Structure 1
């Protein structure tokens, strides 16, 4: 596949490679990684996507001006503040590209000041689009350096008139000198700040700050695999850590007695509770708490769980989480990861604490990139005693 800015963007490392061949490359990379970490797992072939393009349901664009002082928008060159014109990116849904094009035109015509990270002056830093594939709902987030946002009413009205798919528009204020896109202050410009998708037969509502998997269809593949691997019993109690808006736990609730979801993002927990209510799922509860801290308290209180699930950020989980989880002696621990490198590191620690897996499943959540989602089911075993010197 060809892209005019593919080499500059760097977002799609596998762009020159035929999609059918990408799975084998990802599979081999994971096998090599496990071998380096002396982890003996059977790695199944990658579950490839039926739709390898137009899948990214979350996009963050920056803004810049060309030589003729005309505004353009796009992705950032890796490890830089440089914006490249990513107009019409094939990894993004058509409606997302159309909205981004319109926003860029409006920003230019309304002469909205662009933020400069070099001087710390200007207003508009980024725009984020979130898309719900099953419902065709769109969220627009303008990230600004200050609360005052001239022309925002005209901007909002113009977008609403042209795109009925836009259900909410918010402004996030980020005045800090940071590469982190969003901060805590969010102002509602239109709608209720949320959109709703349909996933695994459920309605899932989320806001601008909540985690939601980037590839809708592959997310369903992932959750179905998780359910199959866990093979829960009607009497099982399940702990879902790093639960976000509750999607994994909600998808498992019909197969077990009780689910407890834990997530540090309070807004995500509010979304999770709403999702349980709107799907009439009563055997699930959600707690706003750091997952490691919750696990440590559960260990101190000897709270039993038949199955523990963790789907941590790219950095993986903590040593304290691993020790506490293993001390509870669950029958199963399902580790879902978006970075096999940190997962491999953590799997070694799980093994030292009496839990290891036999099979790894891979899901291509990020076609045309080097990334892959991985799942491992861990069960108890007795580590061999080290010989005394």
Structure 2
């Protein structure tokens, strides 16, 4: 129980690759009574059930009160198999780990990313021979898809999760895509430390977490003075809040599309194109 700060089991996280049909598991527990639990026996239990489909089992210790499957102060250990699985989107392969953000519905994600690329490359001349900034890029999915469709654009991807950026770099190499640079950094701090991009970016891709974009970070993004922004969101409420600020800064909402990434739920993914 979180209120009493007691108990052992917290979460059991499953990631599935539609490409390989493999399963990657993460058992999240507290450290309480851990010596009484046989992790190897649990791994064998999963192997007996799933056989070759079991790619790997990780164990995360999270004694924090907050609801996180990856603890900031805990530990994560590989108990069995491998730490990553490979997924395919629009003909490209992406190696993903437990820590990396990746769309949970890959088949629907192909429709989502196709729409993002359509908006980003609507005026292909505006992309060619320019820098496209992919902020909150995760494993670099969107940037690599854009790069594979626009050979002359330079893609700069930024995400705070270092392991996701490592995956992004490996994925770009795996897919033989050039013209990409990835940085593990807080987006706001990155923009502070790289003022050379001001007035040099024609198109920005934004794909933040559910909380949207922090106000200070959004101001720094606006200060880049990009002509166009493609804003992907899994939370229309925070996107609407950020939209108000973008409109105040001189951007117009040109197009919007909805993609149902989460069937049988109230959630919806949105893709919005803004232009100066």
Q: TM-score, normalised by structure 1?
A: 0.65
How many aligned positions are there? 265
Mapping of residues 207-286 of structure 1, within 5 Å: 207-231=97-121, 232=124, 233-254=127-148, 255=150, 256-286=152-182
Deviation of the 1:286 alpha carbon:
0.6
Q: Deviation per CA, 1:100-128, whole angstroms, max 9, x where unpaired?
A: xxxxxxxxxxxxxxxx4454444322211
Aligned with 2:19 (options 121, 134, 150):
134
- How far apart, in 2, do the equivalents of 1:166 and 1:303 lie? 48
The structure with the greater share of residues assigned to strand is 2
Asked if residue 143 in structure 1 is aligned to residue 28 in structure 2, the reply is yes
Assess if the C-alpha contact under 8 Å between 1:296 and 1:321 holds in 2.
no
Deviation at 1:180, TM superposition (A): 2.6
Partner SS for 1:378: strand
SS in 1 for 2:229: strand
**Cα distance in 2 between the residues matched to 1:273 and 1:316:** 25
Deviation of 1:300 (Å): 6.7
* Structure 1 stretches lacking a partner, 5+ long: 1-115, 381-389
Counterpart residue number, 1:316: 212
The CA distance in 2 between the partners of 1:321 and 1:121, in whole Å, is 37
Q: Kindly report structure 1 stretches of 4+ aligned residues shifted beyond 4 Å.
A: none
Distance 2:193 2:2 in 1: 42
Query: 2:269: which partner in 1?
Result: 373
1:166 maps onto 2:60 in alignment: no
Question: Which is bigger in relative contact order (C-alpha 8 A, separation at least 6)?
Answer: 1
Structure 1's 177 and 329: CA in aligned 2 closer, same or farther, altered over 3 A? Answer: closer
Q: Is the 8 A contact 2:199 2:226 kept in 1?
A: no
- Identify if the C-alpha distance between structure 1 residues 148 and 178 changes in structure 2 by more than 3 Å, giving closer, same or farther: farther
Match of 1:90 in 2: none
Conserved 8 A contact 2:197-2:224: no
Q: State the Cα deviation string for residues 204-234 of structure 1 (Å, max 9, x = none).
A: 1111121111211111001111111111333
TM-fit CA distance, 1:290: 0.7
User: Counterparts in 2 of 1:78-227, with a 5 A limit?
Assistant: 116-117=1-2, 119-146=4-31, 148=35, 150-163=37-50, 164-184=52-72, 185-227=75-117
TM value normalised by structure 2: 0.90
SS across alignment from 1:321: helix
Secondary structure of the corresponding residue to residue 195 of structure 1? strand
List per-residue Cα deviations over 1:158-214 (Å, max 9, x = no partner): 322331111111000112233333314100111221111111111111111211112
2:64, 2:214 → 1: CA distance? 28
Report the alpha carbon displacement of residue 292 of structure 1 after superposing the two structures with TM.
2.0
Range 294-303 or range 338-347, more displaced: 294-303
CA distance in 1, matches of 2:93, 2:251: 34
Compared CA separation, residues 295 and 332, structure 1 to 2 (3 A) = same
Hey, what's the Cα distance between the residues in 2 that align with 1:317 and 1:286?
Answer: 19
Contact 1:263–1:289 (CA<8 Å) still a contact in 2?
Answer: yes
CA contact (8 A) 1:296 1:320 kept: no
